[in-house]
Amino acid sequence: MMLQLIGVARSPFVWKLRVILVEKGLAYTLVDEYPSATNDAIIKYNPLGKIPVLLTETQQVLCESKFIAQYLTSFTGGINLVPTEMNQVIEAQQVEVVADGICDAMIAIIYEQRRDEKLQCADAVQLQFEKILRGVSFLNTQIDAKSWMVGDHFSIADIASVTAYTWLKSRYEDYAWQAEFTSLDAHASKILVRESMQVTHPFLANS
């Protein structure tokens, strides 16, 4: 039995993992399940009801995208997505944490805006958006004048940052992302042409 990735293709966390799977040459099946408090198909694997969830070939369960990413990048096939030097490993993990945090903040905004309009809290939305801007600013500084986020080759840091940033831009299309975060935007444009990005892109018809 091949790997099973449970979640929805439009999730930034699922997108990140799908890119890793393609880059590592790992066969998998995407099981389309939307996270909710009543979706037993997810809750039976993750009591928190969150996606993504990965079922290994031996039916072992892995939850949380960063943990799953560490598991997938440990496979020897495909390209190496983890830096070899420890200081760069830590740096790449920090980039991934910030990228994931941007997605968490965006999802918090989405859920807040789904509430009844009378119950929505503008201050809560603004707080999350400020987190997003600080996170994107960090990533923009991280890539400035470099070819790769960390080290001298494509890595998990590039995958996490570009999937998060691209997903964010799709949600806030009217914000001047390119003008404000020029370096990150240019890096994303370069990375998005990779086959692994194209075939898994949640907003392209061929994915």
Q: Tens of pLDDT along 119-163? A: 999 999 999 999 999 999 999 999 998 999 999 999 999 999 999
CATH number at residue 149: 1.20.1050.10
Residues with Cβ within 8 Å of residue 145, at least 6 apart in sequence: 183
Count of the separate structural domains present in the chain: 2
CATH number at residue 49: 3.40.30.10
Residue written as tokens 């979640």? 7
Instruction: Single out the residue of 143, 140, 144, 138 nearest to residue 154, CA to CA.
Output: 143
**Residue 52, preceding peptide bond in cis (omega within 30° of 0):** yes
- Within this chain, do residues 61 and 95 fall inside the same structural domain, yes or no? no
Task: Give Cα separations from 26 to 66, 78, 79, 124, 153 (angstroms).
Answer: 17, 8, 11, 40, 20
Per-residue pLDDT, 159: 99
**pTM score, whole prediction:** 0.95
- Has residue 1 got a pLDDT over 90? no
Q: DSSP string spanning 33-74?
A: ----TT-HHHHTT-TT--S-EEE-TT--EEESHHHHHHHHHT
Q: Which of 40, 73, 106 is the last residue of a domain?
A: 73
In the chain, % of residues over pLDDT 90 = 92
- Within this chain, do residues 108 and 29 fall inside the same structural domain, yes or no? no
- Within this chain, do residues 49 and 92 fall inside the same structural domain, yes or no? no
Per-residue pLDDT, 36: 79
What does the pLDDT look like over 87-117, one tens digit per residue? 999 999 999 999 999 999 999 999 999 999 9
Residues with Cβ within 8 Å of residue 126, at least 6 apart in sequence: none
* C-alpha span between 175 and 95 (Å, rounded): 22
* C-alpha span between 84 and 193 (Å, rounded): 25
**DSSP reduced 3-state for 31:** strand
Q: Which of 39, 73, 107 is the last residue of a domain?
A: 73
- Within this chain, do residues 68 and 91 fall inside the same structural domain, yes or no? no
Asked if residue 146 is part of any domain, the answer here is yes
- Mean pLDDT calculated for residue range 51-68: 96
Per-residue pLDDT, 155: 99
Segments forming the whole domain that contains residue 68:
3-73
- Has residue 54 got a pLDDT over 70? yes
Per-residue pLDDT, 38: 80
